[in-house]
Amino acid sequence: MDMATERKWTWLSPGGRTKNEIDYIFGTNKFIVQDVTLDEFSETLNRVVLETSLKVAKKCKGRRDKFTQETQILLQQRRDMITKGSKNTQKFKELCKTTREHCILPVLTYGAETWVTTKAILQKLIVTQRAMERKLVGVSLRDRMTNKWLRKESKVSDIVKRIANLKWQWAGHIARKSDSWCKDLLEWRPWEHKRPVGRPQMRWKDDIRKVAGQNWMLVAQDRARWKGLKEAYTKLVEDGLR
């Protein structure tokens, strides 16, 4: 049968001697695969085996590595130094700091863009980070070292500033998108329902409105202006902890 060039598929035997032309493959994307290998050939089961191979190939192609190459190198260096007994050196402390910056801090703040930045949530994260910093520097609560001294020695990024930056960037990204369910959710007004009695809970955009105003979505359209307000928002979040 005559077919267009992009619809012609061939199958080569492992030795490359036999070449067969497959009649037709249904798909929404002609570039879905480049090579398909069949372990067995059966006239009745060929279609089933081929469909399975296509699905597995597509799934493996879209899968991301759990760790980047840089992270794997850092973790391996840390393991080697622990094995050699070099835990008390300055190089090991620097390596631990870098590992926390690249691995632990992103895990602690995963999805922070969608959080309601209440004082209770931020305080728990601060306590967790302080405990890690004490472990890194080599002191305990009994040593009664100040947080300022601890941060100077550990030199790690502040988790509150990181969360504030992530949320502010995400808010600007959502406001500038023309069609997004996240934006529709922020603009949704359930007029048919009534508020419960009592003080309403803090909402995700309440602290953003304090900095950019009620029309913060319009303000976010100007990238330069929105970026200039990020420092003010970070200061607002930090002041809320005092």
Contacts of 238 (CB under 8 A, 6+ apart): 160, 161, 164
How many angstroms separate the CA atoms of 204 and 216, rounded?
Answer: 13
Lowest mean pLDDT among 32-46, 76-90, 100-114: 32-46
Neighbouring residues of 217: CB distance < 8 A, sequence distance ≥ 6: 175, 183, 186
Using CA atoms, how far residue 24 sits from 70, 103, 141, in Å, is: 43, 47, 70
Which one has a higher pLDDT value, 183 or 84?
Answer: 183
For the whole model, what pTM was predicted?
Answer: 0.63
136-148 pLDDT tens trace: 888 899 999 999 9
